[in-house]
Amino acid sequence: MAIGEWYEGDDPFQIANRPEVKKEDANEALIFAQKFLIFESGPGRDLLAHWSNVVRNRKISPNASHGELAYHNGVREFVEGLHQQIEFAHNGGMSPYKDR
């Protein structure tokens, strides 16, 4: 039974702590992260390089409005999230900080 699929009377926290459920979710996360590897070759690599360059080198005015700051932070988080998903896929779904 996957997370979110339980019946009345079941304890959802007990279901989520079962090892087979955690392994199933980890495998799904890895499969999803591997889809981001399209940004490593061809036009995807060029697009990600452009986004990264624009986001990382953008200067925001000190008197920018809250909306403008929120917009730039959202775009930055999106691009950095792409890099994190790619690294997650390269590490086989394991944290780069965990001893292997």
User: Residue 22 belongs to what domain range?
Assistant: 12-90
* Per-residue pLDDT reduced to its tens digit, 70-95: 999 999 999 999 999 999 888 887 76
- Is the overall model pTM greater than 0.85, yes or no? no
The full DSSP string for the chain is --TT---TT--HHHHHTSHHHHHHHHHHHHHHHHGGGGGGSHHHHHHHHHHHHHHHH----TT--HHHHHHHHHHHHHHHHHHHHHHHHHTTTS-TTS--
Instruction: Identify whether 68 is part of a domain.
Output: yes
Instruction: Identify whether 95 is part of a domain.
Output: no
How many structural domains comprise the chain? Answer: 1
pLDDT higher than threshold 90 for residue 9: no
pLDDT higher than threshold 90 for residue 38: yes
Instruction: Identify whether 32 is part of a domain.
Output: yes
Instruction: Identify whether 98 is part of a domain.
Output: no
Instruction: Identify whether 24 is part of a domain.
Output: yes
- State the average pLDDT over residues 12-18: 56
